[in-house]
């Protein structure tokens, strides 16, 4: 039907062709991260239940995001007009919500074909049964999925690790909520390793032959690559023996790749021990910030949440009979562990039960592509060789949605790029994927539908604020409550007054 390399290639081509230079990294000096949602559907006169031959499908990018940064807690606003989290995965998902809103506008107006068809209940729609959505990220999600073993194989830094390793790396609980050492280490997937990596067809493989074979930083960190300089000899004999048993045959575990995401208050916390026992796996984490801590949960945590609650969010659930789930997640070329991905996205929540109708833990398909993103940190590092100056993450985030009006949205520090302090309060300085703008589009959709055709969740009470509309999505809130009680009890939630805007 499709391969991981086909998905990666499609997304890289879309990035090169459909996105303008605005918001992209400055050549030879900056790098960024990429994520996207791809719609998969069978070509005409085909269905997925054809047993005799492979189903021919069309693949279309419907949303895309780039970005590496978050704003700190002190910069958050109660007006809903700033993007708190501008990591690529989050930008791509919010862009996807914009696409879904547009598709609901189409089906409500009965004007054009839409991805939605009428549901069985009044005012509700559901996704066409022949459609699938695949999530692509050029890098491993920050947080739990990025805690993977570092092996003493310079030519194979991404050597497959066992399921036992991924599930048993945990160390004893620590009273510390975050380690004081290595505070500036963030997603340390940038150790210098000599490894030829396969690039996109248009990119010479030699460009990364002797470069950095990993990427770094999913947060606000701009420091250079910092490889944990710890050998296995720093572990005590019992720890070393236990870790050696979990490693692949013949492999020597010298450390783990570090995540800059910090454990949330209420979680056990990392040990901070040197070497492979540094991190504890399976914990909820927040993204790092420069000095000012963020309230943004890691991308691993958010993807795990979407795998149960869907990608549509609470607002759109008012119009949907079922959540919109991802069928697959594809990761680009980078340090990667299949078992760590499985644990972070599925395993932590696999026992969540008593969910409302339509909700459930999805067995999302997880794959890795062998294609490297040309503007990833590792690719840019390899190309620049001995160029002067420091390599830094691009400060801008790009949002693109498959919508007819103004599909592109470029932001920096949570606002449209170029916004001044004086202009922050203007309507023109809102990102099209900010909470308040998505809420405005939702309200526009609601006003285009006659009240007698509204879903029951919107007919029984008078709603005004963003918070009230979210809380009124009862099935979604019931599922979210069950997830928190059974798996994600320490999830950091913004105070309600940050959602009281109209």
Burial state string for 87-96 with b = 16 or more CB within 10 A and e = fewer than 16:
bbbbbbbbbb
First to last CA, the chain: 44
- Which structure tokens are listed for 67? 């970005």
- Contact of 383 with 34, CB cutoff 8 Å: no
State the Cα–Cα distance between residues 124 and 228, nearest whole angstrom.
Answer: 52
Measuring CA to CA, which residue among 231, 193, 232 is closest to residue 213?
Answer: 193
Residue 132's beta-bridge partner residues?
40
CA 197 – CA 334 distance, rounded (Å): 9
Residue 215 in contact with residue 377, Cβ under 8 Å? Answer: yes
**Catalytic member of 30, 89, 339, 374:** 89
Closest CA relative to residue 442, chosen from 100, 107, 92, 65: 100
Q: Which residues pair with 61 in a beta bridge?
A: 38
Longest dimension (CA), the chain: 71
- Secondary structure letter of residue 255 according to DSSP: E
CA distance 326 to 446: 26
* Helix, strand and coil percent figures for the chain, each rounded to 5: 30, 15, 55
What's the CA dihedral at 21, 214, 293, 180 to 10 degrees? -160
Q: Which residues contact 135 (CB under 8 A, 6 or more apart)?
A: 35, 36, 37, 38, 89, 92, 303, 326, 328, 329, 330
Is 6 one of the annotated active-site residues of the chain?
Answer: no
Q: Is 480 exposed, middle or buried (0-12, 13-18, 19+ CB in 10 A)?
A: buried
The pair phi, psi for residue 470, each rounded to 5°, is: -65, -45
Q: DSSP string of 404-426?
A: SS--EEEEETTEETT--STTTTS
What angle do the packed helices 299-309 and 88-109 form, to 10 degrees? 30
Active-site annotation, residues: 89
């Amino acid at each position: 039907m499709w391969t991981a390399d086909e998905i990666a290639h499609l997304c890289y081509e879309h990035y090169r062709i459909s996105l303008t230079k605005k918001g992209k990294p400055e050549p030879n000096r900056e790098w960024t991260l990429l994520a996207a949602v791809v719609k998969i559907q069978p070509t005409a006169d085909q269905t997925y239940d054809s047993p005799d031959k492979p189903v021919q499908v069309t693949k279309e990018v419907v949303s895309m995001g780039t970005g590496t940064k978050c704003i700190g807690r002190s910069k958050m606003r109660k007006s809903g007009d700033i993007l708190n989290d501008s990591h690529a995965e989050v930008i791509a998902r919010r862009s996807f919500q914009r696409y879904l809103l547009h598709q609901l506008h189409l089906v409500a107006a009965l004007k054009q074909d839409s991805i939605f068809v009428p549901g069985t209940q009044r005012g509700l729609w559901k996704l066409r049964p022949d459609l699938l959505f695949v999530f692509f990220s050029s890098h491993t999600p920050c947080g739990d999925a990025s805690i993977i073993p570092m092996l003493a194989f310079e030519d194979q830094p991404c050597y497959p690790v066992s399921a036992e390793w991924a599930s048993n790396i945990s160390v004893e609980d620590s009273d510390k909520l975050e380690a004081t050492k290595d505070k500036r280490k963030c997603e340390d997937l940038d150790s210098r390793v000599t490894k030829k990596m396969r690039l996109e067809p248009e990119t010479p493989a030699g460009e990364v032959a002797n470069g950095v074979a990993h990427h770094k930083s999913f947060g606000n960190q701009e420091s250079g690559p910092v490889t944990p300089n710890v050998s296995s000899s720093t572990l005590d004999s019992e720890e070393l023996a236990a870790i050696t048993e979990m490693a692949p045959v013949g492999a020597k575990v010298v450390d783990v790749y570090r995540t800059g995401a910090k454990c949330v208050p209420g979680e056990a916390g990392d040990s901070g021990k040197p070497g492979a026992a540094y991190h504890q796996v399976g914990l909820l984490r927040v993204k790092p910030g420069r000095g000012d801590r963020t309230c943004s949960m890691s991308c691993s945590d958010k993807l795990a949440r979407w795998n149960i609650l869907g990608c549509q969010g609470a607002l759109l659930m008012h119009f949907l009979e079922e959540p919109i789930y991802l069928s697959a997640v594809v990761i680009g070329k980078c340090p990667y562990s299949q078992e760590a991905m499985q644990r972070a996205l599925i395993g932590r929540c696999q026992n969540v039960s008593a969910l409302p109708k339509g909700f459930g833990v999805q067995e999302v398909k997880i794959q890795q592509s062998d294609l490297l993103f040309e503007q990833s940190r590792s690719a840019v590092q390899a190309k620049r060789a001995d160029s002067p100056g420091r390599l830094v993450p691009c400060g801008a985030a790009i949002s693109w949605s498959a919508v007819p009006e103004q599909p592109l949205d470029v932001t920096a520090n949570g606002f449209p790029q170029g916004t001044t302090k004086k202009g922050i309060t203007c309507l023109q300085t809102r990102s099209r994927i900010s909470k308040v703008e998505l809420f405005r589009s939702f309200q526009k959709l609601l006003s285009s539908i006659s009240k007698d055709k509204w879903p029951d969740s919107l007919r029984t009470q008078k709603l005004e604020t963003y918070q009230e509309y979210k809380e009124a999505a009862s099935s979604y809130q019931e599922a979210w409550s069950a997830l928190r009680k059974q798996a994600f009890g320490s999830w950091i939630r913004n105070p309600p007054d940050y959602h009281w805007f109209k």
